Structure 1
Amino acid sequence: MPAPLHGLLTGLALIVAIGSQNVFVLRQGLRREHVLAVVVVCTLSDVVLISAGAGGLGLLVAGAPQLVQVARWAGAAFLVGYALLAARRALRPTGEALEAEGPTGRRSGTTAVALTALALTWLNPHVYLDTVLLLGSVAATHGPDRWQFALGAVVGSALWFSALGFGARALSGPLASPRAWRVLDALVAVTMIVVAVMLVTGG
């Protein structure tokens, strides 16, 4: 299999999974709020991480497990905090939820949204395992073609985040009611808690 195609398929296999980052991208897409900024942040982050893995940084990270532990607990703490905010939104009365949520509701600033996307990406140890270690290891098997593999993985990342963020608009109709947004926020809260537990338990 050509290295770029192998990278594309492997990258998609690792990225297309329910996780804190994907849930956040989906939510921003549904709200139509700073979607381009979120997609760019997530894609560029993967460019850096995948390039680092292809360049051999994965071996260095594997030799410093204490760094992974620090990222694990920091990421779990952030996810729990985000989950509590989502739970608070889900428990609001209908009128307050309508005012704060939905495609026409109150907006967060671009900087705040971008920082949240960065935190959900860089404070998640699974990101390093998937991109730096796993993709880096597979890229190494391609020898001099490892950068073509990395390019394929980056293309897969860009395609996925773009489809998830901008494609979410197709679901904005069914999620137009305050009740639907409260259900969505409840699912976001549960997902974040589950991911946080998995981080600290090594699951």
Structure 2
Amino acid sequence: MKIKEDIIILGSGGHAKVIIEIIEAFGKYNIIGITDISLFKDQTYRGYPVLGDDSVLRDYIKKGVKNVGIGIGGFKNNNNRKKFFDKAKKLGFQVPILIHPNSIISKSATLGEGCVIFSGVNINTDVKIGVNNIIATGAIIDHETLIGDHVLISAGVTIGGNVIIEDEVLCALGSNIISGVSIKRKIVVGAGAVVVKDLVKKGTYIGTPAREMKLI
């Protein structure tokens, strides 16, 4: 029997719960514990020991633990997730790709380090996805779409073919991106919005068709 590699989960929120279940279903990794500033050492979380806060990571990499899973999401932006990914890499950890077995991913698609693919996701032909992205429950990404780094594609999002989504974009619940458009860095596409043309100015876009939300 193949020995499972050890992994530590960073964070203890709702996203961490999903990550834990994906790892349990994935079957490749052995979760040795959780790090989080809001939990006390020697507690348990979802049946796994709390190791302490992130300061313990240096000790564990010295002990030969090579992998971390980032249990930190973000419904407004991806800043915290990016921060923890960069910290883990600087310490020398690997951040493995985690794919729920109930997802469908084309054999020609490519995923970057640290991507997490939830249940029910469908990723089509020649899609290219950068590092540290979340592709949440039931999202659909069609052929030849390019997605940058530290992007959150929320549950129920539909992205057409030949779309370009740059770094740190957030596509909120149920939004739709038609084929052939591009979305520039750090733009937020609001829940249920329909993007029918390129979005180039940083901001939050809502409605059908998607328009920049103006502050009152």
Q: TM-score, normalised by structure 2?
A: 0.20
Which structure has more helix as a fraction of its residues? Answer: 1
**Larger RCO, structures 1/2 (Cα 8 Å, 6+ apart):** 1
Which structure has more strand as a fraction of its residues? Answer: 2
